[in-house]
Amino acid sequence: MSRLDSFINRMSAQRDILNHVRDVLDLPDGAVLEVGLGNGRTYSHLRENFSDRRVVAFDRQFAAHKTLAPAAGDFIEGEIRETGQTFVGTKAALVHADIGTGYADKDAITLQWLPDMVAGMLAEGGAAVSGLPLSHPQLEELPRLPSVEEGRYFYYRKTA
């Protein structure tokens, strides 16, 4: 598969799952956390589709389009492994994490801390959507959507 097709698949999987979460899951109260702002495409989608919620974005540095600058206090700059800790226990409704690199060795390091962090950020009944698989006893994987390739993107519900 070409890199272009792979990118398109990742983007459409992301959008389809986020739209499904919006339409089908009854999310608890709470913020939406965008773990990996990047150029802000998904952040823009989250703001449009979860417009009644605070959307907080994390990245090493702000590199999104200027029109997407989050409100003061809603962009958290730095290494997410550290900055994300301040949102553990805040009972978010939805965490979206798009911080996979495509390099198995780097992603293996991320996966040493990301699942715990995401589970800790969420309220019970909250949803996690991720490009990397999040193996955690409190994150129940939800059934793959027909439009999403096996192993392409994952989503979960936090259990008690």
**Interface contacts to ligand SAM, rule CB under 6 A:** 36, 38-42, 59-60, 79-81, 98-99
Q: How far apart are CA 133 and CA 139, in angstroms?
A: 10
Q: Over the range 40-67, which residues count as b (16 or more CB within 10 Å of their CB) and which as e?
A: bbbbbbbbebbeebebbbbbeeeebeee
Nearer to ligand SAM, 60 or 135 (CB): 60
Nearer to ligand SAM, 39 or 85 (CB): 39
Q: How far apart are CA 32 and CA 136, in angstroms?
A: 20
Q: How far is the CB of 78 from ligand SAM (least distance, A)?
A: 7
Nearer to ligand SAM, 107 or 149 (CB): 107
Nearer to ligand SAM, 1 or 160 (CB): 1
With CB atoms as reference, the residue minimizing the distance to ligand SAM is 38
Q: How far is the CB of 13 from ligand SAM (least distance, A)?
A: 12
Q: How far is the CB of 124 from ligand SAM (least distance, A)?
A: 26
- Long-range contact list for 51-56, CB < 8 A, 24+ apart? 53/93, 53/94, 55/31, 56/31, 56/32, 56/87
Q: How far is the CB of 117 from ligand SAM (least distance, A)?
A: 10
- Among 98, 20, 89, smallest CA distance to 64 is for 98
Nearer to ligand SAM, 18 or 123 (CB): 18
**11 membership: H or E segment, kind and range:** helix 3-24
Q: How far is the CB of 29 from ligand SAM (least distance, A)?
A: 24
